[in-house]
Each structure stands twice: as structure tokens, then as C-alpha cells.
């Protein structure tokens, strides 16, 4: 068996979170009725003309600044010509020769603690196409066109082939997701197509100088699908070569539902796009002042935020990394921390209980049923010993189910922890009195084994208090009272 | 009333000599009775026109109406008109009714101008004879066996036949100036970016420019003032003040330096045409202008460069006509490929298909540098020719086209001969300069045009020169035989 190495490069389409489209005033809101958000320009009606959305340009520049890339003072749009029903003009307005963002760098962290630099070749502005709705989505035997998405602004980020396995590719993809959502240029909603990944994969014998023939799998919109697709494609290519075949340069599709990959078109079938400068649009000129202003106002980047979380809140690097790389989670964490004053508990709950619930129900943190304020309320009650950790989970469930905030649920369900020492002392005394056999057993046991026996009393007391007794306090009182009996 | 100029109509309307409704009805009647002989107007909007005229009459009665209020004109059928079919002379858009107005249409509407209808044109403005229209050729009012020029042949013929006092037109390589010359009227292609292209169906976006046609320079000044101006909906429209073109028409042209390019008087120029143009130049000299021979050395390259750039842009601009969203769609397409190829083969005429193919070829991988790249370089050279010329002179003059109106079918089999019709007009489009054609004589009872090329945004000067010329000559008042 020979040893193989994998080479991966990504092309990432990021929908920019502008209110209107890149060349028209139509809204970009996701999920509207088909063709209700397409104006005459988006429909490519005769005589209509594009006007560039300044916000889209600024967002692209912000991305460039975030990855420390060269920003082109002059960039230009070109027409990429091909016929497809969801491409209303018969060309896509995009950038080729003069992209707005030049070379840059993205640093990724790997599970073993290593970091790696992925070079960005360039990023350019372009318009999204519409959507073709075929059978299954639409009436039998008829295809429909929905042009709501046509003209949505995109940046296409093209990486160098710097990744050598799926882990690195996913880490890179997640890092880009983290950057674009942190600087607020994309909503990051992968399931709505806000970020889509084209994965270029090739394999070669370890140490070979030349790159192998690559395939491009288009339009993956989840990290999980990306991982599966890369694994399958690497295996396919290696099997093919080891069986004496050759990898064909082709464009492929991967169906995340059926887990089946297939060829879409070969290199020979590829279009000649006949790019040429778009005569309807002037070159995009950026002044130093504009670039500097955008740089000054650039929101905090994930890496800087991670460092700050460590320094400011005393979090571990690992926890800080998880929170900082998801800007919505980071914002949630900071709000809950500000309200509760307990960064570490908030971090634990956010990364633990909350993230697990959100994940299992596939809800994004911005739509979390437990708001940051509500989590802070819960944590405040843990800190002031009003409730135990076990109770806290029950309260969390209550908040999740919409029963109210922590205090309301504690009140309603009578979950308040009993920390009143006289009440606890009485409770302990009652349990000891009614369990004389256990007390005798405790007294007659070797000192070394007595500690173990304490658990039995604890269980009885907690049962008697319906779990509301403060366990630390009970422990102390119990030990004291039993020692008195010795 | 149809023999009055727009300036005279404005006076009559403002002084209530006649109402806009009377005027509009008069021109509508003329169109209904006379147009069948010329085929210049392909859509008549009588009902809308009379409504607009009634509104204009109210504005006129109230006072303070804009100068053009109540004046009826025609729009070239390349300008989108809300709720009125806009065909661009093509079967492809025979059923297309835009839900929006072109900015030019909107500007005229703002000023109370009444729209009588839409004029015939070469399909998608591709042609120099008006023979490529889906609606049939336009007849030149001066000679029934001759073309009116193109692509704005419908607008030019309609004005010559007194079916309207003025009309809009567009010019990508000469489509205002050449038909103006062939029909004996005055037409102006403004500086690229002077008039908004929004709602003007694109042929070659970097060359297309809308402009006015009328019988006199004075009328063109009034029309241009209304159509021109910055429009944020067109990114290539330039935010440059619109002067009162009428205010400077009376300026003296004494001391004006007129550049006469020797390349515009070379072989291929009809003798009679040359003579008429030379006489016109002498008349201007007599008014105190100075004639200076200049050279525009790259003139010969303008036609080949244009016939790469214009088709290249057109090949992309016309891709949207695919049978999917609007316009013509072939019957019972088998599949997507069949829908595209039959829709476009059946919906576009021969000349349009020829140019799409040329453009597609020029942009193809492996040919781009040799054709499109080279043509863009030539375009820069041509621009430089003009830039250096304008250091020494104020305007450039020569013939608008090589000969008077030619016979139907005489150039139909030879696209290159047809393309050479635009040899004197194309360079200004490539450079983005303003150009104008003014009637300056007759050859074989057919009109000849004098071309005036100005520096960027020098429309006021060009109109001033043309007006001064028309004060001492009568060619613009000539009426085709049979038109009363």
C-alpha cells in the first residue's frame, strides 16, 4: 500500500447581510413567497440597469481587513456569460481580473492544539443567481423559477490549496463563518444558504511534487456534509488510482440527505464564460479615507475576542475559543455575564447545557428559548445558594419550556433550597431520631469507614426535604450531630 | 400646424393660439392618414396622447408650464413606455409591455410633452437602413424607393413627413445622425453619459446614447434640455449641469476654429455629398469661422473596432431574451436547450443573430485578446486622436455619411458595405463624444447631412453653430415632395 496525501482548497460563497440587493433596491429577506422580492432589475427586464450597493462594497472591504488582505483601490465588474433559467440576464455580474480583496491569511486552530495558516488567493464581489424549483418542489412535470435570491450580494472567497485533510478544511470553514458573523457582514445561516462551500480535492503520493487532478464538489451548506463529502471523495480518488484509473477533472455534486456524490459535468462540458468588463458599471474606486474608516470601525475579530475572554473573564483558552468563535454565542455569554457577574458559570452553562439543547433541537442561539437575561437570572440563584445545581437543571428546563424566568419557576415549583440552619438542624435531628439503627451502625463502625455511611443519612435527608436542603450545610450539621453522639 | 417648428409650437401654445388637444389631434390625424405610406410609426397611443394633451392644456391655462408643455412628439420604440408595447423593432418583444418608463420618457412627461406613439427602428437598433425591423422597412419621405437610414429611421422619417415635430432617437454608431442626414432633418447624439440610459433597451451599453431629432437645431436644443440630466439609476450617467441650450443659440461663431479631418474626405465619399459639405463649410467660414485641416489618423480603424466591441456587448445584452421571463417563446419546446435555441432563432432577425454570433466569437476563449482586447486598444487610440485634435480646434466637421439615401436592398447582401455607412459617425461613439447632423444640401433630390463633432459636453456650442448655420441657410426647411 502506498501512502497518499490529500490537497484541499475551498471556494466559499458568503451572502452579505445587506438590506437590499447588490444592484437593485429589492429586499434580500429570506423565505418570502417566490418572486415577491424581485424587481424589474432582478428580472432583467429590457432597459434596466444595475446600480452598485455601497454597503456590499463596504462589507467586502471589511472582510478583506479582517483577514489582513490587500484591498484593491480600484476593482471592476465583469460579465460571466452562460444561459440558465435562474440567471435572468444570461450573465452573472462578478469580478475576475480586478477583485476587491487580494491576498490574505486565515489562521486555523486544530484539535491537537496546532495552528495552521491558510492563504486566501482573493475574494470578489458578485451577484447570486435565482433558484430553479423542479419536480418535488413544484408542480408535477413543471419547473419553476424563483428569482427572490437573484441579485443577492455575495463575496466569493477563494483559498489556496493549503488544507491537507477534512479536519483542516472544516476548521477553515468554521473560522470563516466565525469571521464573517463576528464582523456582521453575514448572518451565517448555513441552512438558508448564507454560506456555501465548493470543495476542491485532489490526492497524490506522499512527497510527490505535482498536484493530482482535482475535482470540485459544489454548494455544500453544512460542515457535516463537507466532512462526509471530503472523506468519500478522497477514498474514491485513491481507489480509482490504485485500481489503475485516472481522476477526471470534473464538477461534482454531493447530496447530504442520500449521502450520494455524482458527477455534474466534466471539464470538456464546462462553459466558455466569455468574461468581459461590464459596461453598465463604473470601476469601484476606494479612497484611503474610506478604507481607514472601515478599519477603525471593524468589529472585534474572533481571535482578539478569544484573548480578551481569557484575560478579562479568566476563562480557559479552550472555553474562550468556543465562545469567541461564534459571535452570537459570544454576545450571549457577555450579556449573561454582565447580568450575573459569574463568567465561569455562564461559560459552563452556555457551552454545556444550553449548547447541547440548542444543538439537539437545531435552534440557533439568537433564537434560544432561554435568553441571556434568563440564564443570568438562573445563575444568580445558583451563586446565592437559592438553588442547588440539580435544581438548577430543572429550572433551566422550565425556562426552556416557557414557564417563566428562574425566580418565577423556583417560586411556582417551590424549589428554593433550604439553607436556614435551624430548619436544617431540625430536619437532621428528625432523620437521626427516626433511623436509630443506622445511627447505631454508624457509631459501631471503624472511624475509617464512617465517612461512607454518611451518604445514607444524606439520602434520607434530601428525600425528606424533597431535594431542597442545601447539601453542604446538611453535611456539616450531620457530621457535627453524629460526632456529638460518639 | 405641422409645418411649424417646436419653437413656434411652444409660442402658439403659450399664447393660446391653439391648444395642445387641437395640436395633438392634428398630428394623430396625420399619422393615421399618412403613416401607412412611410411605416414610420408602429404604435399609435391616441388615447393616452389626448389625455396628456388635456392635462397639458390645464397646465398651460394655469400658467408657469414648462416650455415644452403640450408639444407632441414620438418616442423611438427602444425607450420603455409604461403600459405601452415596447418592441425594439423585434419579434422577440412584439408582446412586451413594460411596467416602467425610461428616464427620458419620464423627463418629457414631467415637462408635459405629449406622446403620439412609438417609431419604427432597425431590430434592436442594429442596422443603418431600417430594413431589419420586424415591422417592415420605413420609407424615406424624400424617395419612396430609398431607405431612411437607421437605426432611428422611423423617428427621422416621421419628422421629415411632418407626422411629429420632434422625436427621440438613439445612436450607438450613427443611428441618430445617419438617418437625420438621409431624411433631411437635424439630430444630435449627446456626450456619452449626458442622457440617462435607464429604460432604453441596450444594444452596446458603452456606446448607446439617446438624443433628440427635430427639424432645427433650435428645436433640438429644447428637446435636449428636457431629456438630459443626471440619473442615479444609470451608473454611467454623468452628473454635469444641464445648460440652457436655447440661451446660447444666438452667439456669434466668429473666430470659431473648425477642424476638417482629411480622413473624412477620402475615397468612398460621394462627389455631390462632398461638394455640399464644402459649400456648408464655406458658409460658416463666411460667418467668421476658421477652417483648419486636421488629421484623425486612426479613423480607418474605427469600423473594425466598433464591429468587435458593439457585437461583443450586444451578445451579452441580448442574452436575457431567452423565452423564460417575457417576450417571444417558441411553441412546445422539447427541453431547455430547445427552448433557448428555437426561441432565439425564431425571435431574432438575421442581422441581430449575425451580431450575436460575431460578439460571441470575439469574446471566446483564445480569441478575446486578438479581437476584444485589440479593439479596446484601438478605441483608446481613437480617443487620443480626438483629444489631441481638440487642443487646436473647437469643433470638427465633415459629412455625416458617405452618400445620400440608398435604394432598398442595395446593401442587404453585403453587411460590410452596410457597416461602412457609419464610417464617419462611429468614431465619436467609440470616444464618447457628441455628434450632430444638420441638413446642408441636396444630391439627386435627396438630402445631405453636415456632421458637427464637439468636445465632451459641448452640446451648447454645437447647437449654437448649427443654429447660426440654419439662420443663413434653408436646407432644414425643405419639404419632401408630396408632403403638404
Q: What is the 3-state secondary structure (H, E, C) of B233-288?
A: CCCCCCCCCCCCHHHHCCCCCCCCEEEEEHHHHCCCCCHHHHHHHHHHHHHHHHCC
Cβ neighbours of A81 in B, within 8 Å: 315-316, 319, 363
Burial class (CB in 10 A: 0-12, 13-18, 19+), A34: middle
Rounded to an integer, the average pLDDT of B136-158 is: 97
Catalytic residue (one of B19, B133, B155, B175): B175
The region of weakest confidence among A208-212, B234-238, B319-323, B371-375 is A208-212
Q: What is the pLDDT of residue A137?
A: 62
pLDDT band at A456 (very low <50, low <70, confident <90, very high): confident
- Write out the three cell numbers for B226: 428636457
Q: What is the pLDDT of residue A136?
A: 64
pLDDT band at A479 (very low <50, low <70, confident <90, very high): confident
- Write out the three cell numbers for B323: 423565452
**Terminus-to-terminus CA distance in chain A, angstroms?**
73
Q: What is the pLDDT of residue A170?
A: 97
- Write out the three cell numbers for A425: 438542624
Beta carbons of B236 and A280 less than 8 Å apart? yes
Q: What is the pLDDT of residue A482?
A: 82
Instruction: Identify whether the C-beta of residue B479 lies closer than 8 Å to the C-beta of residue B267.
Output: no
Top residue of A82, A87, A96, A274 to mutate, by most chain B CBs within 10 Å, is A274
Catalytic residue (one of B129, B151, B155, B315): B151
Cβ neighbours of A50 in B, within 8 Å: 235
Cβ neighbours of A280 in B, within 8 Å: 202, 205, 235-236
Give B223's contacts (C-beta < 8 A, 6+ positions apart): B6, B68, B73, B166, B168, B212, B214
- Nearest neighbour of B96 by CB, restricted to A46, A90, A275: A46
The pairing of beta strand B290-294 with beta strand A104-109: unpaired
Nearest CA in chain A to B204: A279
Beta carbons of B324 and A85 less than 8 Å apart? yes
pLDDT band at A439 (very low <50, low <70, confident <90, very high): confident
Q: What is the pLDDT of residue A1?
A: 57
- Write out the three cell numbers for A344: 465561569
Specify the higher pLDDT residue, B337 or A472: B337
Beta-bridge partners for A265: A251
Q: How far is CA A292 from CA A58, A184, A297, in A?
A: 11, 18, 9
Instruction: Identify whether the C-beta of residue A217 lies closer than 8 Å to the C-beta of residue A252.
Output: yes
Q: How far is CA B39 from CA A237, A466, B147, B184, in A?
A: 66, 98, 12, 17
Beta-bridge partners for A217: A199, A252
Q: What is the pLDDT of residue A225?
A: 94
Report the 10 Å Cβ neighbour count for B445. 11
Specify the higher pLDDT residue, A462 or B187: B187
pLDDT band at B186 (very low <50, low <70, confident <90, very high): very high
Closest C-alpha to B189, from B204, B174, B167, B206: B174
Beta carbons of B368 and A282 less than 8 Å apart? no
CA distance B192 to B201: 15
CA distance A370 to A362: 14
Beta carbons of A279 and B313 less than 8 Å apart? yes
Give B441's contacts (C-beta < 8 A, 6+ positions apart): B272, B273, B275, B276, B277, B279, B280, B447, B448, B475
What is the edge-to-edge ordering of all strands in the sheet holding B114-119?
B41-44, B114-119, B72-76, B166-171, B209-214, B186-189, B435-443, B446-454, B395-399, B257-261, B290-294
Omega before residue B151 within 30° of 0, cis: yes
- Nearest neighbour of B312 by CB, restricted to A50, A90, A276: A276
Nearest CA in chain B to A89: B320
Residue B102 sits at φ, ψ, to 5 deg, of -65, 155
pLDDT band at B218 (very low <50, low <70, confident <90, very high): very high
Closest C-alpha to A355, from A177, A337, A364, A397: A364
Based on its alpha-carbon atoms, the radius of gyration of chain A, rounded to whole angstroms, reads 30
Nearest CA in chain A to B238: A282
Q: Which ranges constitute the DSSP H helices of A414-446? A: 421-433, 436-444
Known active-site residue B446: no
CA distance B125 to B352: 9
- pLDDT tens, A339-366? 999 999 999 999 999 999 999 998 989 9
Q: What is the pLDDT of residue A143?
A: 83
Rounded to an integer, the average pLDDT of B4-26 is: 98
pLDDT band at A452 (very low <50, low <70, confident <90, very high): confident
Q: How far is CA A431 from CA A463, A476, A483, B348, in A?
A: 10, 15, 15, 97
Rounded to an integer, the average pLDDT of A206-212 is: 92
Q: How far is B279 from chain A (nearest CA, A)?
A: 40
Q: What is the 8-class DSSP label of residue B372?
A: I
- pLDDT tens, A130-161? 998 876 666 667 788 999 999 999 999 999 99
- pLDDT tens, A64-113? 999 999 999 999 999 999 999 999 999 999 999 999 999 999 999 998 88
Closest C-alpha to B342, from B352, B332, B351, B350: B332
- Nearest neighbour of B197 by CB, restricted to A49, A83, A282: A49
- pLDDT tens, B118-138? 999 999 999 999 999 999 999
CA distance B205 to B201: 9
Beta carbons of A274 and B315 less than 8 Å apart? yes
Give A414's contacts (C-beta < 8 A, 6+ positions apart): A468
Burial class (CB in 10 A: 0-12, 13-18, 19+), B385: buried
A45-56 burial code (b ≥16 CB/10 A, e <16): bbbbbbbbbebb
CA distance B197 to B237: 8
Report the 10 Å Cβ neighbour count for B175. 37
- pLDDT tens, B374-383? 999 999 999 9
Give the H/E segment covering residue B384: helix B374-389
Average per-residue pLDDT for chain A: 92
Beta carbons of B326 and A50 less than 8 Å apart? no
Cβ neighbours of A47 in B, within 8 Å: 79-80, 86, 98, 100, 102, 197-202
Based on its alpha-carbon atoms, the radius of gyration of chain B, rounded to whole angstroms, reads 21
Cβ neighbours of B79 in A, within 8 Å: 47
Q: How far is B24 from chain A (nearest CA, A)?
A: 28
- Nearest neighbour of B93 by CB, restricted to A46, A50, A282: A46
Q: Enumerate domains of chain A plus CATH numbers.
A: 4-292 (no CATH), 300-413 (no CATH), 421-485 (1.10.10.410)
Give B428's contacts (C-beta < 8 A, 6+ positions apart): B189, B386, B434, B435, B453
- pLDDT tens, A252-311? 999 988 999 999 988 877 789 999 999 999 999 999 999 999 999 999 999 999 999 999
- Write out the three cell numbers for B442: 441636396
The region of weakest confidence among A76-85, B29-38, B411-420 is B411-420
Q: What is the pLDDT of residue A134?
A: 79
pTM of the model as a whole: 0.90
Q: What is the 8-class DSSP label of residue B202?
A: -
Cβ neighbours of B314 in A, within 8 Å: none
Residue A484 sits at φ, ψ, to 5 deg, of -60, -30
- pLDDT at residue A414 is higher than 80: no
CA distance B437 to B14: 29
Q: How far is A28 from chain B (nearest CA, A)?
A: 19
Rounded to an integer, the average pLDDT of B192-221 is: 98
Beta carbons of B198 and A47 less than 8 Å apart? yes
Rounded to an integer, the average pLDDT of B274-292 is: 98
Beta carbons of A274 and B365 less than 8 Å apart? yes
Cβ neighbours of A90 in B, within 8 Å: 316, 318-320, 322
The pairing of beta strand A215-220 with beta strand A250-255: parallel
Beta carbons of A49 and B324 less than 8 Å apart? no
Nearest CA in chain A to B369: A276
Beta carbons of A45 and B98 less than 8 Å apart? yes
- pLDDT at residue B201 is higher than 80: yes
- Write out the three cell numbers for A448: 475509617
CA distance B135 to A346: 75
Specify the higher pLDDT residue, A421 or A242: A242
- Write out the three cell numbers for A469: 436542603
Distance from the Cα of residue A480 to its chain's centroid: 51
Q: Which ranges constitute the DSSP H helices of A350-446? A: 355-361, 372-383, 389-400, 406-413, 421-433, 436-444
Instruction: Identify whether the C-beta of residue A61 lies closer than 8 Å to the C-beta of residue A55.
Output: no
CATH numeric code, B6-257: 3.90.1300.10
Give B310's contacts (C-beta < 8 A, 6+ positions apart): B172, B173, B203, B204, B207, B355, B359
Known active-site residue B403: no
CA distance B104 to B195: 7
- Write out the three cell numbers for B359: 460578439
Torsion sign, CA atoms B152, B156, B157, B163: positive
> Which 3 state secondary structure label does DSSP give A169?
helix
Q: Give percent of chain A above pLDDT 70.
A: 98
Write out the residues of chain B at the interface with chain A, using a CB-CB cutoff of 8 A: 79-80, 86, 88, 93, 96, 98-100, 102, 197-202, 204-206, 232-236, 312-313, 315-316, 318-322, 324-326, 336, 340, 360, 363-365, 368, 372
Known active-site residue B76: yes
The pairing of beta strand B395-399 with beta strand B446-454: antiparallel
Beta-bridge partners for A123: A101, A157
CA distance B472 to B112: 32
Beta carbons of A79 and B316 less than 8 Å apart? yes
- Write out the three cell numbers for B47: 388615447
Rounded to an integer, the average pLDDT of A162-184 is: 96
**Terminus-to-terminus CA distance in chain B, angstroms?**
11
- Nearest neighbour of A89 by CB, restricted to B320, B336, B360: B320
Q: What is the pLDDT of residue A419?
A: 74
Instruction: Identify whether the C-beta of residue A203 lies closer than 8 Å to the C-beta of residue A4.
Output: yes
* Look-up of cell digits 476658421: B290
Amino acid at each position: 500500500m502506498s501512502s497518499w496525501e490529500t490537497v484541499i482548497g475551498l471556494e466559499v460563497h458568503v451572502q452579505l447581510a445587506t438590506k437590499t440587493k447588490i444592484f437593485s433596491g429589492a429586499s434580500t429577506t429570506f423565505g418570502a413567497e417566490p418572486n415577491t422580492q424581485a424587481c424589474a432589475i432582478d428580472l432583467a427586464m429590457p432597459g434596466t440597469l444595475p446600480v452598485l450597493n455601497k454597503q456590499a462594497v463596504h462589507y467586502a472591504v471589511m472582510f478583506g481587513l479582517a483577514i489582513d488582505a490587500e484591498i484593491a483601490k480600484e476593482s471592476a465588474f465583469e460579465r460571466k456569460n452562460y444561459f440558465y433559467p435562474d440567471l435572468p440576464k444570461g450573465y452573472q455580474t462578478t469580478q475576475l481580473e480586478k477583485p476587491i480583496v487580494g491576498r490574505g491569511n486565515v489562521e486555523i486552530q486544530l484539535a491537537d492544539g496546532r495552528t495552521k495558516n491558510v492563504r486566501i488567493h482573493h475574494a470578489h464581489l458578485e451577484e447570486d443567481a435565482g433558484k430553479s424549483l423542479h419536480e418535488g418542489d413544484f408542480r408535477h412535470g413543471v419547473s419553476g423559477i424563483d428569482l427572490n435570491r437573484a441579485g443577492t450580494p455575495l463575496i466569493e472567497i477563494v483559498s489556496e490549496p493549503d488544507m491537507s485533510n477534512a479536519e483542516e478544511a472544516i476548521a477553515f470553514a468554521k473560522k470563516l463563518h466565525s469571521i464573517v458573523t463576528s464582523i456582521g457582514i453575514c448572518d451565517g445561516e448555513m441552512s438558508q444558504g448564507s454560506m456555501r462551500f465548493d470543495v476542491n480535492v485532489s490526492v497524490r503520493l506522499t512527497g510527490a511534487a505535482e498536484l493530482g487532478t482535482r475535482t470540485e464538489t459544489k454548494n455544500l451548506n453544512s460542515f457535516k456534509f463537507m466532512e462526509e463529502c471530503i472523506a468519500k471523495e478522497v477514498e474514491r480518488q485513491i481507489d480509482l488510482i490504485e485500481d489503475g484509473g485516472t481522476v477526471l477533472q470534473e464538477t461534482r455534486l454531493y447530496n447530504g440527505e442520500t449521502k450520494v456524490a455524482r458527477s455534474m459535468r466534466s471539464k470538456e462540458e464546462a462553459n466558455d464564460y466569455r468574461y468581459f468588463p461590464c459596461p453598465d458599471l463604473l470601476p469601484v474606486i476606494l479612497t484611503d479615507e474610506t478604507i481607514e474608516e472601515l478599519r477603525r470601525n471593524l468589529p472585534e475579530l474572533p481571535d482578539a475576542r478569544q484573548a480578551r475572554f481569557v484575560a478579562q473573564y479568566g476563562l480557559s483558552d479552550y472555553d474562550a475559543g468556543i465562545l469567541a468563535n461564534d459571535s452570537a454565542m459570544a454576545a450571549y455569554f457577555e450579556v449573561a455575564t454582565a447580568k450575573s457577574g459569574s463568567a465561569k458559570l455562564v461559560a459552563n452553562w452556555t457551552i454545556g447545557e444550553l449548547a447541547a439543547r440548542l444543538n439537539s433541537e437545531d435552534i440557533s442561539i439568537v433564537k434560544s428559548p432561554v435568553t441571556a437575561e434568563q440564564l443570568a437570572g438562573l445563575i444568580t440563584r445558583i451563586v446565592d445558594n437559592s438553588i442547588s445545581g440539580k435544581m438548577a437543571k430543572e429550572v433551566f428546563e422550565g425556562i426552556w419550556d416557557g414557564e417563566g424566568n428562574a425566580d418565577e419557576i423556583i417560586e411556582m415549583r417551590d424549589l428554593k433550597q433550604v439553607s436556614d440552619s435551624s430548619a436544617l438542624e431540625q430536619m437532621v435531628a428528625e432523620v437521626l431520631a427516626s433511623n436509630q439503627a443506622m445511627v447505631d451502625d454508624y457509631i459501631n463502625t471503624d472511624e475509617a469507614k464512617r465517612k461512607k455511611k454518611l451518604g445514607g443519612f444524606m439520602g434520607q435527608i434530601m428525600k425528606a426535604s424533597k431535594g431542597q436542603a442545601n447539601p453542604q450545610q446538611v453535611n456539616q450539621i450531620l457530621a457535627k450531630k453524629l460526632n456529638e453522639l460518639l | 400646424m405641422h409645418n411649424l417648428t417646436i419653437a413656434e409650437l411652444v409660442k402658439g401654445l403659450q399664447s393660446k393660439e391653439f391648444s395642445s388637444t387641437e395640436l395633438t389631434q392634428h398630428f394623430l390625424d396625420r399619422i393615421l392618414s399618412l403613416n401607412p405610406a412611410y411605416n414610420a410609426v408602429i404604435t399609435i397611443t391616441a388615447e393616452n396622447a389626448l389625455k396628456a394633451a388635456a392635462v397639458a392644456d390645464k397646465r398651460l391655462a394655469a400658467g408657469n408650464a414648462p416650455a415644452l408643455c403640450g408639444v407632441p412628439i414620438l418616442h423611438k420604440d427602444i425607450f420603455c413606455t409604461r403600459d405601452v408595447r415596447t418592441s425594439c423593432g423585434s419579434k422577440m418583444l412584439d408582446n412586451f409591455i413594460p411596467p416602467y418608463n425610461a428616464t427620458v420618457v419620464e423627463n418629457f412627461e414631467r415637462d408635459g410633452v405629449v406622446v403620439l406613439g412609438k417609431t419604427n427602428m432597425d431590430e434592436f437598433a442594429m442596422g443603418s437602413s431600417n430594413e431589419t425591423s420586424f415591422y417592415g422597412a420605413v420609407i424615406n419621405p424624400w424617395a419612396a424607393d430609398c431607405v431612411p437610414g437607421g437605426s432611428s429611421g422611423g423617428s427621422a422619417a416621421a419628422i421629415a413627413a411632418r407626422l411629429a415635430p420632434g422625436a427621440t432617437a438613439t445612436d450607438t454608431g450613427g443611428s441618430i445622425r445617419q438617418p437625420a442626414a438621409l431624411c433631411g432633418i437635424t439630430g444630435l447624439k449627446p456626450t456619452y453619459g449626458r442622457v440617462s440610459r435607464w429604460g432604453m433597451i441596450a444594444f452596446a451599453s458603452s456606446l448607446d446614447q439617446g438624443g433628440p431629432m427635430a427639424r432645427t437645431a433650435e428645436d433640438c436644443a429644447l428637446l435636449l434640455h428636457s431629456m438630459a440630466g443626471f440619473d442615479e439609476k444609470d451608473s454611467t450617467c454623468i452628473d454635469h449641469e444641464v445648460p440652457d441650450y436655447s440661451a446660447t443659440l444666438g452667439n456669434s461663431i466668429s473666430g470659431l476654429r473648425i477642424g476638417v479631418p482629411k480622413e473624412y474626405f477620402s475615397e468612398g465619399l460621394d462627389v455631390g455629398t462632398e461638394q455640399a459639405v464644402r459649400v456648408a463649410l464655406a458658409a460658416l467660414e463666411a460667418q467668421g469661422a476658421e477652417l483648419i485641416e486636421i488629421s484623425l489618423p486612426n479613423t480607418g480603424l474605427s469600423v473594425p473596432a466598433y464591429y468587435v466591441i458593439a457585437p461583443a456587448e450586444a451578445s451579452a445584452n441580448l442574452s436575457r431574451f431567452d423565452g423564460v421571463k417575457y417576450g417571444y417563446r417558441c411553441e412546445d419546446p422539447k427541453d431547455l436547450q430547445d427552448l433557448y435555441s428555437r426561441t432565439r432563432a425564431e425571435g431574432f432577425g438575421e442581422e441581430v443573430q449575425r451580431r450575436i454570433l460575431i460578439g460571441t466569437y470575439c469574446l471566446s476563449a483564445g480569441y478575446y485578446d486578438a479581437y476584444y482586447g485589440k479593439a479596446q486598444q484601438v478605441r483608446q487610440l481613437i480617443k487620443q486622436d480626438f483629444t489631441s485634435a481638440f487642443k487646436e480646434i473647437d469643433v470638427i466637421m465633415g459629412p455625416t455619411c458617405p452618400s445620400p439615401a440608398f435604394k432598398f436592398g442595395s446593401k442587404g447582401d453585403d453587411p460590410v458595405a452596410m457597416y461602412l455607412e457609419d464610417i464617419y459617425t462611429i468614431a465619436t461613439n467609440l470616444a464618447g463624444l457628441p455628434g450632430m447632423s444638420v441638413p446642408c444640401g441636396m444630391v439627386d433630390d435627396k438630402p445631405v447631412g453636415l456632421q458637427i463633432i464637439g468636445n465632451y459636453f459641448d452640446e451648447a456650442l454645437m447647437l449654437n453653430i448649427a443654429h447660426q448655420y440654419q439662420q443663413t441657410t434653408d436646407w432644414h426647411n425643405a419639404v419632401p415632395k408630396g408632403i403638404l
